[in-house]
Amino acid sequence: MDGEIVDELKNEQSISLLFKNMITVNMVTTLVYYTNKRIANLGLNQNNVSVVEIYAYIGLLILFGLGNKNNVDIDLLWSDKCLVHFCLYASVTFSRERFQLISRYLCFDDIDTRVNRTENKFHKMEATFNLFKKNLNHVKPSYFLCIGETLYGFRGSCSFRQFIPSKPARYGIKFWCLVDVKLGIYKH
């Protein structure tokens, strides 16, 4: 349904369509290419990642986020002691080692041309993020909109990481968002 607008999330088909319109094959293929290039440049003896694996990886990240499992230790999610159904999805989808490998080496840009693009602090993710923002145009917002800020918790090394003591995560990357209150969808 190229170019059609998804305006309500009432069933699994529309959610699947929205996902496919936002996380396109072109975007995932680009991630696969850059990730495999990074793995090859590092001289690692690892199997290349595939388009299916990246889709499964993104799906698991969304599932973990929906279940508030984003701060749980990865070892617990793949252990036999985990009593939550998310663990079953994780262990059936990937081995823990493969999930960690993709997490460690996932690359969003061409590392060979990175030196030429250092004027922008967001240069490592800019191309992929711009594709994602463009894909958000498939969503037709309702009349109930507001502007808000979101802090994505992040404690790693990043020159634009911020400290906001009033937020639950306190340290992270801040985004300004256009939020559709009715659908719960926001656009950065």
Q: Give the pLDDT of residue 7.
A: 45
Structural domain spans, the chain: 1-140, 142-188
Cα separation of 36 and 115, whole Å?
19
What are 88-97's contacts with CB under 8 Å, separation 24+? 89/60, 89/63, 90/60, 90/64, 93/56, 93/59, 93/60, 94/53, 94/56, 94/57, 94/60
Tell how far CA 127 is from the center of its chain: 14
Looking only at the bridges linking them, the beta strands covering 171-180 and 162-163 are: antiparallel
Q: Please state the pTM of the whole predicted model.
A: 0.72
Give the pLDDT of residue 41: 87
The C-alpha R_g of the chain, in whole angstroms, comes to: 18
Single-letter amino acid, residue 4: E
Residue 187, strand partner residues: 178
| pLDDT average per 10 residues of sequence, the chain (188 residues) | 42 69 87 91 86 90 72 75 70 87 88 72 77 74 81 76 83 81 60
> Cα–Cα distance between 11 and 69 in angstroms, integer?
24
Q: Which pLDDT value is given to residue 158?
A: 74
Instruction: Give the pLDDT of residue 1.
Output: 35
Q: What pLDDT sits at residue 102?
A: 92
